[in-house]
Amino acid sequence: MIQAFFLSLGQLLDSRVAMVFLKSLLVTLVLLAAISAGIWFGLHSLLAWIAARLGGLSWAGDAADISTIILILLAHLFLFRAVAIAVIGIFADEVVAAVEAMHYPGAHADARDVPFARSVAMGLSSGVRFLLINLLFSPLYLVLLITGVGTAIAFFVVNSWLLGRDLGDMVAARHMKYGELPKWRRRTSFRRFVLGMFGTGLMLVPVIAFVAPVIGAAMATHAFHRGRRA
């Protein structure tokens, strides 16, 4: 996996990979900006409505500003991974194809391009799955707060598992039929979990987090094809 990381890092300057990075970054930032704007106007409207019903509250404006900033920061921390992976899921086929063309030409020649509609569906499924699974585990996260580090560890493990699945599926979709995926997922569960750990770890690093989805997609390509050779 270390070798896959450095190979992926070295291909960031590939024009095809760089273009995917720019497209995915732009879409991710636009979506995060839209979420922020929605939180800003929604919370201000809510507090303005409450203030009007209570006869006007002098502190409502300040409370709205402070609450909005806190909520936006929390939303970015929690939703960045969901948005970034959903977006890269849409463009991942271009990254996978570029890596295959350079390192695995035989597999590249036999691959099927993933239709755009399926890429969009996979990306949206990744984002929704992230939100639902983390909401499901939220009681555990809250209980583990008393340990100091338990919540962070649990969140990291759960999301490494999710990310490993998402990244692996991006590559497998080019080479496997839908009915073959469940068996392949069981056989490669540990390898994909390690891949997810790398990707999740990169997303925790400031600045690097923006390029992490692209590196993850490239690493998943190496992991998939090296695993098939083993």
pLDDT in tens, the chain (230 residues): 778 888 888 888 888 889 888 988 898 889 888 888 887 887 777 777 776 766 655 555 666 677 777 777 777 777 787 888 888 888 888 899 999 999 999 888 888 888 888 888 888 888 889 889 989 998 998 899 888 888 889 999 999 999 999 898 888 888 888 778 888 888 888 999 999 999 889 888 878 888 888 999 999 999 988 877 65
CA distances (Å), origin 123, targets 3, 50, 89, 188, 228: 26, 38, 4, 21, 24
How far apart (Å, rounded) are the C-alpha atoms in residues 37 and 182?
Answer: 40
Work out the burial of residue 14: count CB atoms within 10 Å of its CB; fewer than 13 is exposed, 13-18 middle, 19 or more buried: middle
Residue 76, token pair as written in the block: 């970015």
Residue 167, token pair as written in the block: 């990244």
CA distances (Å), origin 71, targets 38, 63, 79, 139: 11, 12, 11, 20
Give the pLDDT of residue 55. 63
The conformation of residue 205, written as its DSSP 8-state character, comes to: S
How far apart (Å, rounded) are the C-alpha atoms in residues 128 and 160?
Answer: 16
Give the pLDDT of residue 59. 58
155-188 residue pLDDT tens: 999 999 999 998 988 888 888 887 788 888 888 8
